[in-house]
Each structure stands twice: as C-alpha cells, then as structure tokens.
Amino acid sequence: MNLPRPLVLFLAFCGGAAIFATPLVLGALALGVQGPAAAASPSGLVAVSGAPTSDAVLGTIEINAVDLAFKPPTIEVKQAGRYTVMFTNGGALAHDVTFADGTKILAAAGAKGQGEVVIPAGGLTFICSVPGHEAAGMKGTVTVAGAPASGSAAPTGSAAATIGPNPSAPAYVPRDPAAPALASGTVHDIEMKMSERLMTVAAGYEQLVWTFADQVPGPMIRVRVGDTVRIHLINPATNTMGHSIDFHASMVAWNDEMRTINPGEELVYEYKANYAGVFMYHCGTAPTLHHIANGMYGMIIVEPKEGLPKVDKEFAFVQSEWYLGPQGQVTDLTKAAAGAPSPDFVVFNGIANQYKDNPIPVKVGETVRVFVLNAGPNVDSSFHVVGTIFHDVIKEGIHLAEGNAGNWGVQAVDLSPAQGAIIEMRFAEDGLYPIVTHAFNFASRGALGLFKAGDGGPPIPGSH
C-alpha cells in the first residue's frame, strides 16, 4: 500500500510570551500516559491514543518540538482517517501534543512519544497542554485537503471571561510584613523546595500557584556583601512542571545554575554576594513571564559589609501582580502577556489588601525602615506612604541620605519591575498612614495597606 509522504512539523524558538527557554538537566523523566492504548517500546517511545484502533492507518504525522512553539502552525493530510503520530521533543522542557479529541502524547526533553489519532473531515486542532505553553504559541491545526479545522483544543485554563469571587474560597493567610533577620555566619545553606498548590490571593479568589518553599513571595533572605549563598533547589517528583531559579544578586552563568530542573531533580546554586542592594530572584523557566506571574519570585537583601544602621522597626514589601485564571487554576498567561497589561490585582506580599485588613502597628516618632521590591512582572511601582516623607532612600545603589545639604526628601520611589529600594520614614502623630503605589488605578486593585501609628488617631467617619 502507498502511504502518504510523512508530514513533518518543525518547531522553532518562538517569541510572544516566551522570554527564553532555559536549558535543563537531560535526566530521565517519568512520562505520563493517557488514553486507552498506551505502551512503552524498547526504544523508549511512549504510545498514547485516545481513539479506537480498528481502522487502517493511512500514514504518519511527525511533529517535532523545540521550546516554545509548533511550526508551521498548520499541516495537511490528503484524506480523513487514522494516522500514526510520531512526537519528538527536541526542546529543553517537557512537552506534549494534545489533540482536540483528547488524544495526548507526552515526551520529556530529548525524548519521543508515539500514538494514533483519527483526523476527521473538518480537521483537528492540537496544543501543548502544559500550563502556559499554549498561550506562548504551542498550538496548531491538522487540516484535510485544505479544509478549515472544526475541532477545538481541550480546555487549558485560559480565562475567557472575567473571573468572579467564590464565597466558598478559603480565607487568605496573612503574610508577616516584618523584614527578615540577618542570616548568621558567612556561608548560608538554604533549601528551596518548589511546590504547586492552591492559594487564596485575594478574598474570594483562589489560584493554583507555583512557589518557592510553599510561599508567595518566596522566602525573604538577608545576607551581607562577601557572604556565600548556597541554594539547594528541589523540584519534588510530585510536581508537574520544570522550574528553575535566577538570583539577580548573583554573578553566575545563566546556562549553569539557572538551568531548569524537572520533577524529581535537584540543583545546587552557589554564588558570592559581591554587591549590596535589594535584589529579585525568580523562576526563569520558559515562559518566564508565566512562572513569575504565577508566584515564583522573591526578595534577597544584601547589606553592605559593615551592615546597616540600627533603626526601630524594619518591614519588607514585594509588589507584584495577579492575572487571574479560573478559580482553582493557574493564572492567565494571555492576560499577563498583553501589551497594555491590566492585572486583576496588584498586591504587596502576595495578597490583595492584606495590610488594609490588618494594619501594621508602629510608634509615633520611631524610625521605620522598609525594604521594597517590585517583582512585576509588568507594571511599574510608585511606592508612597500617605502622610509622611521618606528621609533616607537607597534606590538601586543611589543614596539620598538624611541630613543632606538642602534637606531634600522623597515623596515616592519609582521602581520598574526587578528594581528595589531601602526606604526610611517617621510618623509625626497618631493616625493611619496608607501604603500605596501612587499609580492609583492599581492601588484600587489591591495595592493598599495601612501603617497604624500609636492608637490610630480619630475613627474614620462611617466606620465602627
């Protein structure tokens, strides 16, 4: 019998929402199998089919993958019917090809998968169902003799409509705003186990977040210039995604310590903290935008070698954004990738309005130091505390010191994504002092907290 010429789908590195694809350890990855006909061959192929196997196979469709797209997006077969699908993943991340009829073929980085699919007369769409990969460009269509496809891909969690609150969502767990203590010693061994779990990010809104050490933001770390930081990064086998970590405080090769590790793998990321500042760390696995938007970011403070002057109280705030997906699912990469970003929530320390609901107590006249990081991933911050003036500010290494000639002060500190600052202030009288980003369209979306100085001052009219 004459078989049609194999159809080959080459995948090129894509743009769009993907920023860059991180290399990973090409170790063995357990491949999931779905569908009624699945078998492993001695060659390591995994056959997966969601379709019956009684019809004759008309030919072979070969699909090759490289992070993060299928290219070209459309392939054509001469007639409807059953085809063998050979799926080769030449990328650095685990991928699958999921057809609209439910057939899914999975392959780890550098591995292959095999299955069968029935292409109807109207054609069939396919995607990579790994969260974020479809939105980053991994989608395509098989057509028959040029006819448009009628199949639609299986749901992947992208929110097509505004997400409403769920009264049954668990209450959020407030994050202590106190700044971390300086780590003792000069060598710091820190275990960072990554997790994928549900988290309430605002009252009534629960998302399936990806985390460092089960927290969003990740743990806040504090060291001094000259210290050695040794991160033991663990991606448990129970996770579904490859992840990585990128410390902006480090000077290391991107394709070494920052490489992606798959579930069941570990990595040691070691560096010497050579420069002082408030630095970001985050997951750099492609699409990087999605991993940050879904919770994988944190703050590390590197003090000068001589340390920072003592103050009365210290707090730490990480500003970030949530682009909501459906309740209980991952955030929406399509929303996050928009050219004019419009986050559902902009927050301090991961949760909308948590310090408005739980004001932070301070004393009148005491010196308060705040470490601030804008983790983004997209919008700028204009950090401002209503009712006071910042008398000492170190922003990205530039210092406006108290007592400067002219007695200059600062009303707001502008921070683009991945920029940080150390800010000091005092409160002149009892009362409430709002913490905001002065981009007020975002302050009204969750970036609002309160310092409560003394007894909090007179009651707000209309409050109880």
- Strand arrangement, sheet containing 205-212: 205-212, 187-202, 228-235, 265-272
pLDDT at 99: 93
Give the per-residue pLDDT at 72. 67
How high is the pLDDT of residue 368?
A: 98
CA distances from 1 to 51, 56, 117 (A): 23, 11, 20
Nearest residue to 374 (alpha-carbon basis) of 304, 463, 299: 299
Query: Looking at residue 462, what is its pLDDT?
Result: 62
C-beta neighbour count of 384 within 10 angstroms: 21
For 181-195, the DSSP string reads PPPSSSEEEEEEEEE
Q: Are 424 and 403 in contact (CB under 8 A)?
A: no
Say whether the peptide bond before residue 217 is cis (omega within 30 degrees of 0). yes
What is the reported pLDDT for 461? 67
pLDDT by 10s per residue, the chain, length 464: 343 333 333 333 333 333 333 332 222 222 333 333 333 333 333 334 344 445 799 998 888 887 777 766 778 899 999 999 989 888 778 888 999 999 999 988 888 999 999 999 999 999 888 888 887 788 888 999 877 655 554 444 444 457 899 999 999 999 999 999 999 999 999 999 999 999 999 999 999 999 999 999 999 999 999 999 999 999 999 999 999 999 999 999 998 899 999 999 999 999 999 999 999 999 999 999 999 999 999 999 999 999 999 999 999 999 999 999 999 999 999 999 999 999 999 999 999 999 999 999 999 999 999 999 999 999 999 999 999 999 999 999 999 999 999 999 999 999 999 999 999 999 999 999 999 999 999 988 999 999 999 999 887 766 54
Q: Closest by alpha carbon to 182, among 273, 318, 292?
A: 273
